[in-house]
Structure formats: C-alpha cells, structure tokens
Amino acid sequence: MKNTKKKYKKNTKTGNNVKIAISGKGGVGKTTIMALLARELQKKGREVLVIDADPSPHMAETLGMCDSEDVRPIADMTKLLAERAGKTEGSPFYNLNPDVNDLLKDFMLEKDGIRLMVLGAVQTAEGGCACPENHVLRKMLKKMLLTAKEVVLLDMEAGVEHLGRGTVVGVDALLIVVIPSRSSIRTGLKIKKMADDVRIPAVHFVGNLIQDDADRQFLRQELGEEPVAFFPDSGAVRKAERAEQAIIGIEDGLDNAPKELLAGIYRSRP
C-alpha cells in the first residue's frame, strides 16, 4: 500500500505539466477540440497554456479571449523576429541562440486560468528566406515546451509537414483529429506513421463530427484501432463557429467527449 501511494503521487505530479499536441487534416475541427480540452482541464483545476502555432490562428476567438482581429501572431512580426535573430541585410548568418524570454512574457494572453501564446507560422520573408524568423519561433516553442509548469496544449498546422520538421519533439502525446471521410483518414494515418517514427510517447486518434454508430464503426475499421474519444457533430459548435463566437463555453450536446478525451490521455501516461 505504501509503494502504491508513492507511485500515485509521482504520476499526479507528472500529469500537472503534460504536453499535448494536436494535428489533422485541415477543417477537421482540431482547434475546437483543443479549446474544449482546455476547458475540461480548467474545470479540473489545472493551469493551462495553449500555444497556437497554426498559420491561420484563431484560438483566441475560440477561447473567447478577444476578437481574432485584435490578435497579431508573433510570426507576422517579421521585423521583430529578424532583429531578435540578429539578421542583417545581405548576410547569411544569424544568431543560433536568440533570447526569447521577454517575448514569452510580453505576448501572452490570459483569461480564467488559461494562458495563450499566438505564435502562428512564418510563411515568407523579405528576400525570400524565412530561416532566421522561423528559428526564433522554434526557440520560443521549445522554451515553452521544456519549461512550462502548466499543462501545455499545442495547436499545430494542418497536415504532416510539422512532424517532418521535428516541431513536436518534446510533447508527451499527440492527438490526431479525424472525421468520417477517407481523405481525413489518409492524412491521419500519415501523421501517425511520422509520429511513431519520431517516437512521440503516446499517439491517439480523436473522432469528430460523428453523427451515428456507423460513423464510429467506419473510423474504427479504417484506422485499425479505437479512437480515444468521439466528438459529435454538434449544432451548438457549428452555430458558434459561424457566428464567430467563443466555443469554450458550450456544454450541451457534446456527449461527455471532452471528459472522455482527457481520461483517455491520462490513462496512457506511463
């Protein structure tokens, strides 16, 4: 009994700062599911840090922190990023160890125990090379993943490219959102293979936009395994998205999916 109690305490402490990333094909609802997971963690009394690393970030609006028009992703601040990287015009050299501590502090949003960093993703840069700017963003992301004391939820860009760049190395779990469509499943299976290749400790499929048992069975059959949770095709979520309203406050019509998702993640923890 004594050893069991010690082990339980150790696992509880470890769970307080678990790092969870989410990915999937574009349009499958990964930002919505991440926001609902953040809300579930908040209800459990956990401190949460959400990192929006999508090229088209709208997590701030989804979490109800502010209008998306009021939030400028750090990735869009190319002049600031270039300066922080020590980039000079005409030179191929830049600082490989930029100081980002003040950026982490100055550009953090917070509401009701949930903190948000809107990173975005550098698409282009003056002169056609975005390497220094992306290096600063990766340094910021790595810093948050390694040092955060909260639960970290990382909303990634759609597709598989981020895994090829090793962006999610350091996370404890990866959630792959799939909907009952073959294109979504094909992308999801590619993401899982790459996640296994980079040895992410736990990889889970999450079903979304589920209408009936046929949808659940289709995903089980095509994925070859049981998704950790199934989120229904919620009219309330759809209505909120169309009205550009916060989703985090939605409680009804979710079939306890956020709670099941959180439970499944922690069941897989070593």
In the chain the domains, ranked by start, together with CATH numbers, are 18-267 (3.40.50.300)
Q: pLDDT digit string (tens) for 164-184?
A: 556 676 789 999 999 999 999
This prediction has a pTM of 0.82
| CA gap 232, 75 in Å, rounded | 33
Give the residue with greater pLDDT, 44 vs 170: 44
Residue 4, pLDDT score: 35
**Is residue 256 pLDDT above 50, yes or no?**
yes
Given a cut of 70, is residue 91 above it in pLDDT? no
Please state the φ and ψ torsions of residue 160, each to the nearest 5 degrees. -115, -5
Beta strands in 68-179, from DSSP E residues, in sequence order:
108-111, 114-118, 151-155, 173-178
List pLDDT tens digits, range 187-221.
999 999 999 988 899 999 999 999 999 999 999 99
Q: What percent of the chain has a predicted confidence (pLDDT) above 70?
A: 79
Provide the β-strand partners of residue 204.
Answer: 175
pLDDT for 24 beyond 90: yes
Closest by alpha carbon to 245, among 64, 116, 57, 110?
Answer: 64
Write down the mean pLDDT value for the chain. Answer: 81
* Short-list 15, 248, 21, 32, CA closest to 141: 21
